[in-house]
Amino acid sequence: MSAQTVTGPVPASELGFTLPHEHLLFGYPGYQGDLTLGPFDREAALNACEDVARSLLARGVRTLVDATPNECGRDPAFLRDLSERSGLRILCSSGYYYEGEGAATYFKFRASLGGGEAEIEELMRHEVTAGIGTSGVRAGVIKLASSRDAITPYEQMFFRAAARVQRDTGVPIITHTQEGRQGPQQAQLLLSHGADPARIMIGHMDGNTDPAYHRETLAHGVSVAFDRLGLQGLVGTPTDAQRLDVLTTLLGEGFADRILLSHDSIWQWLGRPIPMPDAILGAVKDWHPLHLTDDILPELERRGVGAEQLRQMTVGNPARLFG
């Protein structure tokens, strides 16, 4: 089996240490209208991202999944250029963000006229099998997202469409859950429409500190991601210490073969620079793509997690899921 990266297929055995949920470029929908005062300097962004990529490579990271949705600044050509310049392997996503923070109007309007879900499926299928626009880059994963208190009817269109595309193509599915909710519901919805649990990663599970929630999600056979490491006290996130308490509990129960680790970090914001009050700066000081290798893995070792389990979560599980 092979993973579809932005530079072509790569054997699963060659993916190595993989970060399964990061964002090299990201802008909330609306940034496109603010480019007069927040223009995008592509070369400067490439240089900045290349520095981060080389820092990751120096720490043993070989691959990452860029989880940026279509409407939030996804740029497959940028990802390909960065991969070619740095040597870091990158998988690009196909999908849309959750209703509250994505660009929902477009497909909601089309759905009201009789389109919508079939068109979403057509888009995902094309981007996975033929490529994204004229970039020549094929999507290596489908990205889905849901709201905090429910998977809305709008979001359900994407989940059903993704399940059908995955059923036919085998493409992996990764998800966004909001504030540690809807993990079991996401898994159940995807499986009810024919998706393969072995090819699903339910994301942002570390937003919930109740081990029972994780067990309920894992009972569906899917993998789960502790993938907001370093983001503490914002958008409903717990502390890293609380996350690791849950993680070590699950590892002790034998779930090492279905857990992945990442940050959900944003390397370059699109639009104007983000205002950062002191309170927010404190909450995000560890939210960067080197946090796992520099801080979290050593802390897990101090907590008694062995090298085999660490390698399983960072190398073995990504190879199985994305390859």
Please report, in range form, the residues annotated as the binding site: 21, 23, 143, 176, 204, 264
Cβ atoms of residues 123 and 98 within 8 Å: no
Q: With DSSP H G I counted as helix, E B as strand and the rest as coil, what are the percentages for the chain, rounded to 5?
A: 45, 15, 35
What residue type is assigned to position 50 of the chain? E
Using only C-alpha atoms, what is the Rg of the chain?
18
What residue type is assigned to position 86 of the chain? S
What residue type is assigned to position 138 of the chain? R
Q: What are phi and psi of 291, to 5 degrees?
A: -65, -40
Give the closest residue to 279 by CA, choosing from 229, 228, 232.
232
Q: Both ends of the chain: CA-CA distance in Å?
A: 5
Characterize the bridge pairing of strands 8-11 and 2-5: antiparallel
CA–CA distance, 114 with 237 (Å, rounded to integer): 38
Mapping DSSP to helix (H, G, I), strand (E, B) and coil, where does residue 84 land? Answer: helix
CA–CA distance, 65 with 95 (Å, rounded to integer): 13
Task: Give the residue ranges of the annotated binding site for Zn(2+).
Answer: 21, 23, 143, 176, 204, 264
Torsion of CA 75, 156, 234, 204, to 10 degrees: -80
Cβ atoms of residues 52 and 287 within 8 Å: no
CA distances from 72 to 169, 205, 210, 274, 283 (A): 25, 22, 31, 15, 23
Q: Which helix (H) or strand (E) holds 302?
A: helix 297-302
Give the burial class of 37: count Cβ atoms within 10 A of its Cβ; 0-12 exposed, 13-18 middle, 19 or more buried. exposed
Cβ atoms of residues 308 and 5 within 8 Å: no
